[in-house]
Amino acid sequence: MEIRESKWIENFKENWISGNEIKTSQKLYKDARMFYESIDESLGPQTVMYTVYSCEQGELKTGNLNWGLSVLEPVTVKGECNVTRGHFHEDLDCDEIYVCAQGEGFLLLMDADGKCTAEIMKPGSIHHIDGHQAHRLVNTGDTQLAVMCCWPSTAGHDYGRVEAMPFSVRAFKCDNNIIWKEGE
């Protein structure tokens, strides 16, 4: 019998996944400005907004799963809570699972008509995302929000659809309260 090490290691204290097949990407403020209602000149262009660690199956075929970890920094943009870009799936029949590992925030969902709902994220919460809904993460806390995710390798990411019809709800921090603002 052969005994092997796990291909990937999730380290919740350091917020990263390690392994040979892990891809890491960071979204800097200079590349994320369009996600927010206003430009915040007090944030440097190199400010890290979030980091995504992913292990994607090489072959796009039904049954293959991708695994990842998104880590959002506790940054606000003129009071607006930090968010991920958000996307629909190219294959709307591909669902996704999110598991909150640490921090606090929301999973913001949007249907094809632009109606938004939000689910509370806290350590241990598990979220099923219907493939027909756009989704983005919102960090409302004072620490990093770390969310594990698993999705079919054939799902794809449709960012253009969200750019054409942006999320109509935004979360702002005001005196340690979260204020939701609707309307684009």
State pLDDT tens for residues 141-168: 999 999 999 999 999 899 999 999 999 9
Q: Say yes or no to pLDDT of 54 above 80.
A: yes
pLDDT value of position 18? 72
User: Does the residue 75 lie in any domain?
Assistant: yes
User: Does the residue 1 lie in any domain?
Assistant: no
Q: What percent of the chain has pLDDT over 70?
A: 91
In one-letter notation, the amino acid at residue 12 is F
CA 103 vs CA 135, 139, 140, 168: distances in Å: 18, 8, 9, 24
Q: Say yes or no to pLDDT of 184 above 70.
A: no
Contact 84, 72 (CB under 8 A): yes
CATH number at residue 73: 2.60.120.10
Q: Quickly state the pLDDT bin for 1 (edges 50, 70, 90).
A: confident
User: Does the residue 2 lie in any domain?
Assistant: no
What's the pTM value of the predicted model, to 2 decimals? Answer: 0.90
Domain that holds residue 122: 9-182
User: Does the residue 15 lie in any domain?
Assistant: yes
User: Does the residue 4 lie in any domain?
Assistant: no
Q: Which of 29, 82, 35, 76 is nearest to 174 (CA)?
A: 76
What is the total count of domains within the chain?
1
pLDDT value of position 93? 93
